[in-house]
Amino acid sequence: MTASVTDQLTPQQAGVRAHAVLDEIERAVVGKRSALELVMLGVLAGGHVLIEDLPGLGKTLLARSFSTVLGLDFRRIQFTPDLLPSDVTGAPFYDQRTGEMVFRPGPVFANLLLADEINRTPPKTQAALLEAMAEAQVSIDGVTRELPKPFVVIATDNPIEYEGTYALPEAQLDRFLLRVRMGYLPVADEAAMLRRRLDRSTPEAVLDRLSNPGEVLAMRAALERVEVNTDLVDYVVALIDATRRHAQIQVGASPRGGLALVQLARARAVMAGRDYVIPEDVKAVALPALAHRITLKPELWVRRISADDVIAGVVQSVPTPQTTPRTAPHTAQHTAPVPNPVGA
């Protein structure tokens, strides 16, 4: 069942459809439900996702599965040291038949772009994504061209190899709505994955298309109908402010971090079948939304204290509001487990 751009979905309907998408993707991506749910939160909240993890854990498969099931036009860029900005955005070329300069769109003109190993390309090419990620458009030769809607970037980053890589600048990290880590499969799930591969006799599972770009936009619009109590707004601001005053943090979260917390919390409420946000929604998404937005003091590296540890401490230190939704809770049409911040 699909929806056009003009169709309206309730938060509960959007949640049901989102879980149907995840159930289908799980046929290909085994044992990673929490990571899949976090990526789904990013898609619902209208942001971009950074997947930071070791090679071979299914990051590319995850991105391709989302594009297939959501019915989104998919492109992949393998970032390399010799990649040019025009290889990302496209460039004009001379058409000998017409004698005119014609623009040839780059792979960024897609609904879902997989930026594979984004830290392997120089900053100039990384920056080519900045305008696209922030404004959903690219400007070339003085002409601004809009990207398809929706536009989602899923970027992968290898955190253990440093030779021949370029660390993402803080400005670009801040463009990602959240960071996800997949981790190794538990032994039982890894065995199940191998059994599935043997049973189907094909390299990958064939997934069904359950949605389309119009429905994804309608699901995003449903988030605007999710209530956020004033106490929760104050709670989000308190968390952001705590990162700026923390003794171990050199640079705290930007205002964009607060916006990310609100939208991800709304998306989590939708996934839980609610049209209102509760404090647990904010707490659950705080780590994936904020850990990549802060800069720790240099001496913490020697002590092996990570940004995840510091953000977890911030969440524990800020008092949780005892808030009640302004409107009576509606009966949820679908209730399912929601993402846990652990391992995000």
Question: What mean pLDDT comes out for the span 315-340?
Answer: 62
Apex 317 CA angle, 275 and 239, nearest 5: 50
Is residue 40 within 8 Å of 22, Cβ to Cβ?
Answer: yes
The pLDDT value given to residue 246: 93
Residues facing 77 on adjacent strands: 115
In the predicted structure, residue 103 carries a pLDDT above the cut 70 = yes
pLDDT digits (tens, 9 = 90+) for 234-267: 999 999 999 999 999 999 999 999 999 999 999 9
Is residue 62 within 8 Å of 26, Cβ to Cβ?
Answer: no
Residues 6+ apart with CB under 8 A from 234: 321
pLDDT band at residue 230 under the 50/70/90 scheme? very high
Question: What mean pLDDT comes out for the span 5-28?
Answer: 89
Question: Do the bridges between strand 143-146 and strand 152-157 make them parallel or antiparallel, or are there none, so unpaired?
Answer: unpaired
CA pair distance 124, 122, nearest whole angstrom: 6
In the predicted structure, residue 31 carries a pLDDT above the cut 80 = yes
pLDDT band at residue 5 under the 50/70/90 scheme? very low
Tokens for 295? 């800069």
CA pair distance 183, 249, nearest whole angstrom: 26
CA pair distance 198, 192, nearest whole angstrom: 10
CA pair distance 50, 344, nearest whole angstrom: 11
The pLDDT value given to residue 337: 47
CB atoms within 10 A of CB 74: 17
Record the pTM: 0.86
pLDDT band at residue 325 under the 50/70/90 scheme? low
Residues 6+ apart with CB under 8 A from 223: 11, 14, 44, 45, 46, 263, 266, 267, 270
In the predicted structure, residue 146 carries a pLDDT above the cut 80 = yes
pLDDT band at residue 329 under the 50/70/90 scheme? very low
Crossing angle of helices 255-271 and 33-44, in 10° steps, is 110
Q: Is 155 helix (H, G, I), strand (E, B) or coil?
A: strand
C-alpha count within 13 angstroms, C-beta hemisphere, residue 195: 6
pLDDT band at residue 2 under the 50/70/90 scheme? very low
Residues facing 76 on adjacent strands: 114
Here the contacts of 18-21 (C-beta below 8 Å, separation 24 or greater) are 18/44, 18/219, 18/270, 18/271, 19/271, 19/334, 19/336, 20/210, 21/66, 21/69, 21/70, 21/210, 21/211
The pLDDT value given to residue 275: 94
pLDDT band at residue 70 under the 50/70/90 scheme? very high
DSSP annotation of 121: S
pLDDT digits (tens, 9 = 90+) for 150-198: 999 999 987 766 666 777 877 788 889 999 988 787 888 778 878 877 8
